[in-house]
Structure 1
């Protein structure tokens, strides 16, 4: 093989690799950096994660999934799905009630044990904070795990499904904290 042919083959291989990597990043997986404390203790400021962009193109969100979505301020937020379309959401006595049924949130237990000055999640009903009795079709109600310091659906309203980038549950950096987050 001539030197010219070998160079051409290498250039083609590199071009294909770049196109594949770009396609995967754009359509399938993307990295994201956690910015802030709103998902503590589950996620920490500057954790690096992988967002699965296909997850909701081929499936539906589930309660307690951690999602990334485009917020109105032009930023991407990371929050936890609390309410699905049709759900009535209420918090009382630091307990989540969905459609009248209490739900355990074990990812909050660590924070709740540390508190001495009231509940982690202030009591509210969906209707009190949004004017709606249930989560509308095509929308999600999301909250950060650090309930006292999270800008979430209690403040910015319901999240349209078309603003959801994808699901995330893999922390890959820092290496010492690399893990898969289970609900």
Structure 2
């Protein structure tokens, strides 16, 4: 019951979240938090793959419902303001025109911008598909600890 309602194990597959998370890193996902609140910019979330709901992916929330996301010259803009992102391993090598985020949707990107299938390629993510927030890393042992989330006080 605890696993079903509160927590879930998740294994990172691939390097789309490097340098923050490593391939084959094991995490505990907090499933309760988003039943009580909404995802925030900077949260690292696990969700059902919009292309294959039997798979789960992990990415960082960049854009929130009602905002406009744009990526130009490797930089992310929220409502026209440049987003400071110290967690990426380099700028994106693609551009995305101004994209309004509908109600109940989120814009998610991998921290490894040049090697991630995410909202820049398949669009916004329904909040209903979000399983929970990455909370604790427990394997490998040298990565044990809380998963770092970027906290933004305002836009950006």
TM-score (norm 1): 0.76
Cα RMSD between the aligned structures? 1.3
Question: 1:41: Cα distance to partner?
Answer: 0.8
Match of 2:31 among 45, 53, 70: 53
> 1:15-65: CA deviations, max 9, x gaps?
xxxxxxxx1100001110001111111110000001000111001110010
- Structure 1: give runs of 5+ residues left out of the alignment: 1-22, 113-118, 128-133
Match of 1:123 among 81, 86, 95: 95
Alignment of 1:13-162 (within 5 A): 23-71=1-49, 72-73=51-52, 74-108=54-88, 111-112=89-90, 119-127=91-99, 134-162=100-128
- Higher-Rg structure is 1
Tell me if the contact between 2:42 and 2:149 (Cα under 8 Å) persists in the aligned partners. Answer: no
Question: 1:91: Cα distance to partner?
Answer: 1.7
- Structure 2: give runs of 5+ residues left out of the alignment: 151-156
Which runs of 4 or more aligned residues in structure 1 lie more than 4 Å from their structure 2 counterparts after TM superposition? none
Higher strand content, 1 or 2: 2
Supply the distance in 1 between the matched residues of 2:32 and 2:93 (Cα, whole angstroms): 32
Supply the distance in 2 between the matched residues of 1:97 and 1:123 (Cα, whole angstroms): 11
Supply the distance in 2 between the matched residues of 1:126 and 1:173 (Cα, whole angstroms): 38
Q: Secondary structure at the match of 2:128?
A: helix
Supply the distance in 1 between the matched residues of 2:97 and 2:106 (Cα, whole angstroms): 15
Supply the distance in 1 between the matched residues of 2:57 and 2:29 (Cα, whole angstroms): 12
TM-score (norm 2): 0.88
- How many residue pairs are counted as aligned between the two chains? 147
Question: 1:178: Cα distance to partner?
Answer: 1.2
